[in-house]
Structure 1
């Protein structure tokens, strides 16, 4: 009996808690250890015997899991225990490489991380460190955040790994490097010789980065020592340039002259600041010079690098094609039914309006979709692509404006997608630079590749069009745009700017958006401009006033 009593007493012995670890002790031997802050089955206080499958934890991470997982990661990172910090993330390989480089490549020492108050699975934290390189040092401080999620394999809480949590300016695949800058700094000047700075022109941060990347080594400057973001393959493909985060010693800048007009650039900055997600570009049709480019968001450069469906502003190109093919004529009667079905899709006009017995000019001015869709069956699949490339210089990936840019996409498509392309949907993609160039081509009568830095600065060759519009087509196209500016959907925005003018509005539907992107392209005298307000609604009401104000300013 005494022996059986002692066995029973041992079985009733509770687990001993030592140093934040639960150790289950049987007969004086520890058979399992589980941290109080662990995830997965451990967080639920379960042990799994041999041959028993662990239950995967599901559901949102708890407040305790968020706090402890973030704390474990930040503590290990601060203490230089890279492997342990990386093991707390969803991608240990990527985390190991970037965290190791934080010390080795970025030369950051004395790291201090202060965890903020969590909100759901998100945990903000502040970073303080010292950049130390070859006897030169300076402090660095910034804020960041991480998110705790469940690992798919076992449900354990881990830090959702992205390079941005190490520094907000990093994209996945980028690295931090301290040393002599890869390229010397540049001093960018506007057309009047004034300095271009982000303090004066907040929109131009990415443009200045692009100018440095392109001309830093050839503009006569000398590199300094700096901490910078070195872009990886994905970022370079997206058109992003290396970015300076801090200077330890200044280099000597070289000088780069641009075509920017200071008064127009200031006005453009002011105009887009009044709307969310607005972008605009102003060109000189006779030369292709970029006079202004601005975005209300000062991150990605939508004005020069964006890739968005241009909506009905694309009808300028489509109209030139239809007139060239003899499928439309400005003053001849043209069908504009409420709806038209092609390729299995039923296309509508705005509010299903129709124009009975109206001319093509009337359909263009009111932006009648079906007037264009109805002609799809008479066109070859590559007709629109060839028109955009051969006449308007678009979608050939050969523009060299002086900084990274996107010159549009008009893929060859068939059936319903071909029809959608005619009205600027489907696979067609443009940005304000592209659509300002379209208006400029109509005004000038021929395509001039836009540029921000004169080709004489580096002897580069500008793109050119393989053909120009016939005199008849060009005359009718100008008539269409002038009528739209005086009596069509662009009339309110363009009021008082005539008579040497033309315009086209556009609205592009985007999946998941309640309102379409509003587009507007126009010319007046020797100025052409285009703008977009994403999720803004009709172009005449949103992008129109921005473009019109700049055309008036440049008079």
Structure 2
């Protein structure tokens, strides 16, 4: 009876209100509110341990329902009433919790917070958040769902909230913060080359591109920043290439205007093509200028087409062949076998399906994409030859492209031994994306590197990257010879059917550890268009990415 009376007395005591509405309603094992402190160790199912020195007993074992309720209610009540130190003290990282919870009030400007706990599932407690974001006379309601998990402190045995920034808001990663104020950059309205507005409603995959345009041009495009609650990313999120995220707009800004090089017809067609194949991405550009005419991704969260970093497989053989032709090591019509296997520095390389070409030309091997016809040149090459070729002729791997939005410019690191051999066929350490490989075909088509760009350099007076040298007209003719042969008779023939004689292509299949099917690649040019696509985990490039690329090339410029 004494225990029951004390519990009832505690329930009659109303907690103080400090800076927020107090009403933590918890629906758990039992209905209604529950007390902030709970039963004794003897009735909660946990065990205790102590040393012979009579040190304080430390609870071990699974958490009881009462312990989960007690820790979560203490945390939520303290947070709601503005008692930051008390809330932080019941977490596994009081310092981090103190910083983020303090910023919730002072930087995010969120007031009148009400936290309502939901049904507990094991050690996890979901809860809803309602509050008001108030900034310089403008108020707007805020509501969202979050959750916390209670764990046992190994040192003390006490239950505590397992601290992560996502407890405060599910869009937060550890190290991120919440800020309300003028947006870092004004909004922008982006337009295609014909003056039509680019929106995600019209072009579903352009979200990351539009975000990049705002980040780059918001401050110089004539717009005015609005006021918003946003996630400001920390160091770890920056490493993961996560952009700041707007959670609530208090007042709209005035957008600036940015014209892009995108073609409305090609962009619409590209969106339609990638929508039909999961994990697909494509880029179309104009070889004579470098203008990007279309970019599309099946996934709308990350721009693989511009920022992906994937092994390009046999599409890299275009760059490798350029190097071999320039070094006078082989030419298209030279006799050059492709053995079934080839040993290099302890590795045994195989061709696709263990095929081989006993008698044939290099052009035949290129068209059949026979790996060992390239790898068997490795003993005649230095470790840096492919890297230099990619950088000097194709402008790849120098991290200096300025296309108008964030992009990855490819990577062809200096490798040795078997890894160098693997690089010759687009494996090893080589990494590319559809933008890079579209540029490779564009360079072959035009005879020289034109850095791809989405926004004209005249908009912000930026300098486009240049290659340090241009391939000879003889080398260009040889590349067109082997790529044309591949488009008409080789692994690209099925996809390129009906495109005419002035086109060239190269397929690729890139093996990925732990992936059942390879990434399928395809790069091609036709007239004044060049394009490249990838279908991750799709299989052979000619069957997967090939039809996407070919469909866009058939539309002409």
Q: When the two structures are superposed, what TM-score results if normalisation uses the length of structure 2?
A: 0.86
Alpha-carbon shift at residue 98 of structure 1 (Å): 2.5
Q: Once the two structures are superposed, what CA deviation does each residue of 1:9-56 show, in whole Å capped at 9, x if it has no partner?
A: xxxxx9999759xxxxxxxxxxxxx976999xx862324344679889
| Cα gap change, 1:526 to 1:120, in 2 (>3 Å) | farther
Name the SS for the 1:282 alignment partner.
strand
State the alpha-carbon separation in 2 of the partners of residues 259 and 542 from structure 1.
27
Residue 130 (structure 1) shift = 2.2
Q: Which residue is equivalent to 2:525? A: 523
Rate the CA distance shift 1:100–1:453 in 2: closer, same or farther, 3 A.
same
Conservation of the 8 A alpha-carbon contact between 1:209 and 1:243: no
Conserved 8 A contact 2:46-2:59: no
Distance 1:62 1:491 in 2: 66
- 1:285 Cα deviation after fit: 0.9
Choose which of 283, 308, 311 in structure 2 pairs with 1:306.
308
Q: Pick closer, same or farther for the CA change 1:185–1:90 going to 2, 3 Å.
A: same
Query: Residues 157-172 of structure 1: matches in 2 within 5 Å?
Result: 161-172=163-174
Q: Which moved more, 1:64-73 or 1:201-210?
A: 64-73
Task: Please state if 1:546 is matched with 2:527.
Answer: no
8 Å contact 1:37–1:43 — kept in the other structure?
Answer: no
For residue 44 of structure 1, the aligned residue among 46, 50, 55 is 46
Q: Paired residue for 2:218?
A: 216
In structure 2, the CA distance between the partners of 1:89 and 1:173, relative to structure 1 (3 Å rule), is: same
Q: What SS is found at the alignment partner of 1:391? A: helix
Q: Structure 2 stretches of 5 or more lacking a match?
A: 9-35
Q: 2:140 aligns with which of 138, 146, 150?
A: 138
What is the CA-CA distance between 1:503 and the residue it aligns to?
Answer: 1.2
CA offsets per residue over residues 295-329 of structure 1, 9 Å max, x none?
A: 11111211111111111111111111111112221
After superposition, the Cα gap between the structure-2 partners of 1:323 and 1:223, relative to the gap in structure 1 and judged at 3 Å, is same
* Structure 1 gap segments, 5+ residues each: 1-13, 21-33
* Cα pair 2:37 2:70 within 8 Å, conserved: no
- How much does 1:76 deviate? 4.6
Aligned to 1:94: 96
Report the alpha carbon displacement of residue 341 of structure 1 after superposing the two structures with TM.
1.3
How far does the alpha carbon of each residue in 1:500-526 deviate from its partner, in whole angstroms, 9 at most, with x for none?
211111111222222221111111111
Cα distance change, pair 15–111 in 1 and its aligned pair in 2 (3 A): closer
Separation (CA, whole Å) in 2 of partners of 1:271 and 1:67: 52
Task: Give the one of 353, 356, 369 matched to 1:354.
Answer: 356
Please tell me whether the aligned partners of residues 389 and 465 of structure 1 are also in contact (alpha carbons under 8 angstroms).
Answer: yes
RMSD over aligned CA atoms reads 3.2
Give 1:315-354 correspondences, 5 Å limit.
315-354=317-356
Q: Provide the rounded CA distance (Å) in 2 between the counterparts of 1:310 and 1:353.
A: 21
Which 10-residue stretch deviates more, 530-539 or 394-403?
Answer: 530-539
Q: Distance in 1 between matches of 2:66 and 2:318?
A: 59
Report whether the alignment pairs 1:403 with 2:418. Answer: no
Mapped contact 1:37–1:68 kept (Cα < 8 A): no
Distance in 1 between the 2:122 and 2:511 partners?
33
CA–CA distance in structure 1, aligned partners of residues 6 and 506 of structure 2: 74
Residue of structure 2 in register with 1:505 after alignment: 507
In the alignment, is the contact (CA less than 8 A) between 1:264 and 1:292 conserved in 2? yes
Segment drifting more, 98-107 vs 290-299: 98-107
- From the superposition, tell whether residues 262 and 358 of structure 1 become closer, same or farther in structure 2 (CA, over 3 Å): same
Aligned residue pairs total 527
Which residues in structure 2 correspond to 1:81-480 (within 5 Å)? 81-87=83-89, 89-115=91-117, 125-144=127-146, 161-480=163-482
Once the two structures are TM-superposed, the CA of residue 154 in structure 1 deviates from its matched residue by 8.1
Please give the TM-score of this superposition, normalised by the length of structure 1. 0.86
**485, 488, 497: which one pairs with 2:487?**
485
| C-alpha distance after superposition, 1:456-479 (max 9, x if no partner) | 001111000011111221111111
